[in-house]
Amino acid sequence: MLKMRSVIYLILFLASTVLAGDKYDIQVNDDRTSTDQLYPRVAAGDNGRWAVLWVDKRNGTNDIYCQFLDSTGNRLGQNFKVNDNDNGVPQFESAIDGNRSGQFSSVWQDYRNGSYPFHPDIYFSRIDTLTNYSDHNVTSEQPDTSVESPDIGIFFDGSAVVVWADYRNSNWDIYGQRISSAGEPVGANFKINDEAGAYQQHSPRVASFPNGGFIVVWYDNRFGNDDIFGQRYDASFNRVGTNLRISDDALSSRQAFPVVAGDNNNRFFVAWVDWRNGTYPQNPDIYMRRFKADGSPYAPSMRINLNDGGRAQKDVSICADLLGDLCIAWADSVSSGQWDALAQIVTENGQLSGSNFKIHQLDDGKQLQPDVATDGYKLFFVWADSRAGNFDIYATVKQYNSPALIPSPARLDFTMEAGGAVPSPQTVELLNAGYGSLAWTVNPGVDWITVSPSSGGTPDTLTVSITTDTLTYGSYYVGLRFIRTDNGDSSLLVPVYLNVTAPLIKIEPDSLFFRVFAALGNPLPRAFQIENAGTGNFTWTAAENSAWLTLDRSSGDSPDTVFIQPDIGGLSFGDYRDPVIWESPEAANSPETAWVHLELVGNMPFISAQPETLSLTGDVGDNLQTRIKIINLGEGVLNWQAAPSDAALYLDKTSGTDDDSITIGLATAAMVPGLYNYSVTVWDSASFNQSINMPVTVRLLSSDTVQFLNTNLLPNESGVMPISLRLTGPSKGGYIPFAFDSSYIRLDSITFDSANMPSCMEYYTASATTGRGELGFRINTAHFDDSLISPGEYPFARFYFTANSAEAVIAVDTASSDSSGAYLLDSLGNRYVPVIIPGLLSVGNHTGINDPVDDRLPREIFLSQNFPNPFNSETVIEIALPRAGNARLELYNILGQTISVLHDGILPAGRWRFRWNGSITDGRPAPSGIYFYRLDISGTSRTKKLVLLK
């Protein structure tokens, strides 16, 4: 009998595990006397409600009692009697069924019209509520015959079919009766078995289908031994085919007491007691067979009880969910006189799920006559239990997780470029968190996406495709809402996101601010970077309608750079603000606007010094002096003050006015050879620039000196540190071990400036990744006795470093090697120790061409970082000179070889821009790689790194 056609979520390992929500060994009957309650049947209804029906002797004779319970196993009200007669005649063999609308109906064998044990009838009663029920005689047309083993199947509308075994033809046949939704018999009894002989048919069970049809099964001895037979009917109660032999064992063994359940696809499943592994009545087992909706079997029958000890099994029952997952329960003779009630889960595809498990926890006494039903979320077990001496009705509720559609992945993300090709389809695997196949449908509800297939059953794979390439830039969303067709659940939503990209104009910075002192003339140009914040590429045009600014270019391709040059000629003091409009036919956010703000200031002083940097060199003991002149480049009068950074420096004047000079001195008698860095600050809060800071570099030398010269480089960039050698007498060579902190910089290579050295020199270098190294030089063996290095100052060697991303100041100094410290060789080849002056390598973001700088004539020599960098066609290098000089701007490779000279000659003071197209001196293209460019002017050198990519 079909208990409830709904979805069971059957987690395999949970079958024998006590979960939160499980409730075991619930006593259903509220009678506490010593009378017996037997033959329980169970049916599930709506909202977790379920009903138990049984035969009860509390009134002295057998009556039919019922109890409703909620989904947690709590009784709803009290036990109530179903049969409406009180004349002391017995009732037996009750059965019950329910539907998802919460309707329940029952049948039983009733002797009110006969004389027990003769002439019983089959009675029917609806028991939808606790009080609304009435009895109807189903077999009144044959009042003097014997009937037994009634069962009932209820349909979705509350109508039903009742079946029983009937002796009206002087042998046992299977009969049925149609019951209306009002609870009244419709038409006459009808015979179900189609054999016309004197064979016996017994113990019928029935299961209804969602399409209004039903299946009846029974055991039948038409072939000698008892076999399991069945007959299908359609919704009009017409036979579908002939009687069907369900058991498939050889005719020599006995099968009896079948039970049946159906699923939402009109499939049916039959279990029975089977003696094929023993000799009747010994060693009966429980077998099961699954059938398609057309009545054909899926496979041969299979044994359900897993014990192989020859124990007897009986009292089988079955329920199915909508998907065809099964639970089968039965009684197992675990020992002499002791019976347990066991159960087994069978999956939708016919596989045993896990092991047999007990449906009760207390093992005292006998547990017999188990029955099982489901509402699709829980299993409801009942049985007759003798733990108290007499038989009572007990129940167990087992909790299972709800069946659910599970998508993988749980969301989809698509990306496409506006006007470009649609992205590749993506797939979603749709699974059932429980057993069996959940039927589903989905409708995207938008025209830019398709899902194929749009309906099906789990497990399934869906293809989700973007259908159009006409969507404009933006983000699109749709929630794919999946609907379970078994219960209408539409809670599953799979979000689908489509990001339609496009080129996006991004101007960095979004504004430029020039604060310009009018007396100094036009400021240094600054650059807008044209970047693509989206995808693809775009062409651009730029336009401005301003009389005071110009662009160095008005069109190009992304990424790009545009330099903005203000022209203050003819402008009055004040603020000026004008837009630059950027447009692109490809960019989704075109047009974009960047602003240029000019603050033109005059009528105030401007502090300047000449020179802007100071360098003092001498021997220990010298009194070193130099002078600077404070110049007013603006209007009005300066009223300045000055202070040194260190008390070692003395100033002859700490305040003054326009064109005053300061003498800066340093007494070195108490100092040791080395490199010292000081500064002098001059300030006037009423001036345009308010203060200036002049570096003072002091080099104290000894007789012979090796000096690591200071240098600067940017994070993640490369630079060069020169090493100089001062000899006061002839030498044959030397050895300099060195060390530095390798956690901030990496030594890439060492080169020697050999042009000013004797041609017979040989050189040696060694370095390690640990920040230590060595360099050596000497007259080679062939000329060692007759050649010398003349006294003088030599640009001796170069260290090529690459910095990491951290800003730091790293000292490069001598160190002890495994054998000795630094030494030089005199003219006789004897060792002596020179003075080593360490150098500082500063890693930091120094002022570059795209950073704000003072809008005036340059105060110091400036070499910009090239832009773009890396580049593949052309790059721009800008220099700034505070005064005219003989300047050389050259490029060289990592080996120190010059590959191109961009300028070599006199340059006036000002700002100059040079372009390099990636060609070397002879016109051939330079290969991809790392290069250095160096500016040499007035004894000062600046070096930076660039990258050429092709």
CATH class entry, domain 12-399: mainly beta
Residue 365 has what pLDDT?
Answer: 86
Residue 942 has what pLDDT?
Answer: 85
**Same fold for the pair 12-399 and 611-696:** no
Domain chopping of the chain, boundaries: 12-399, 405-501, 505-601, 611-696, 702-843, 862-948
Cβ 519 vs Cβ 687: under 8 Å:
no
91-125: pLDDT as tens digits: 999 999 999 888 999 999 999 998 888 889 999 99
Beta bridge partners of 855: 516
State the Cα–Cα distance between residues 214 and 655, nearest whole angstrom: 114
The two beta strands, 711-713 and 839-843, are parallel
CATH class entry, domain 505-601: mainly beta
State the Cα–Cα distance between residues 151 and 230, nearest whole angstrom: 14
State the Cα–Cα distance between residues 727 and 758, nearest whole angstrom: 14
State the Cα–Cα distance between residues 201 and 192, nearest whole angstrom: 10
State the Cα–Cα distance between residues 17 and 605, nearest whole angstrom: 90
Residue 602 has what pLDDT?
Answer: 86
- CATH hierarchy code of domain 611-696: 2.60.40.3170
pLDDT at 401 over 80: no
Read off the pLDDT of each residue in 376-388 and give the average, rounded to a whole number: 93
CATH number of this structure's domain 702-843, picked from the four choices 2.40.50.140, 2.40.110.10, 2.60.40.680, 3.90.800.10: 2.60.40.680
- The per-residue DSSP string of 68-91 comes to EE-TTS-EEEEEEE-----SS--E
State the Cα–Cα distance between residues 77 and 468, nearest whole angstrom: 62
Among 405, 401, 411, residue whose Cα is nearest residue 458: 405
900-943: pLDDT as tens digits: 999 888 776 777 888 898 888 777 888 877 788 989 887 778 88
State the Cα–Cα distance between residues 459 and 392, nearest whole angstrom: 44
pLDDT at 660 over 70: yes
**Upper half-sphere CA count for residue 471 (Cβ side, 13 Å):** 24
- The per-residue DSSP string of 228-269 comes to EEEEEE-TTS-EEEEEEE---S-TTS-EEEEEEEE-TTS-EE
Q: Please determine, looking at this structure, whether the domain spanning 405-501 carries the CATH number 2.60.40.10.
A: yes
Residue 1 has what pLDDT?
Answer: 40
pLDDT at 4 over 80: no
144-202: pLDDT as tens digits: 789 999 999 999 999 999 999 999 999 999 999 999 998 899 999 999 999 887 899 99
> Looking at the domain 862-948, which fold is it?
Immunoglobulin-like (2.60.40)
203 versus 705: which is more confidently predicted? 203
| pTM confidence score | 0.52
Extended beta strands in 518-673, E state: 526-532, 539-544, 549-551, 555-557, 560-566, 574-583, 592-601, 607-610, 614-619, 623-632, 640-644, 649-651, 655-656, 661-667
pLDDT over 70, % of the chain = 94
123 to 96, 130, 345: CA distances (angstroms): 12, 18, 33
R_g over Cα of the chain: 51
Among 871, 631, 614, 892, residue whose Cα is nearest residue 749: 892
Among 693, 100, 24, residue whose Cα is nearest residue 374: 100
Cβ 51 vs Cβ 80: under 8 Å:
no
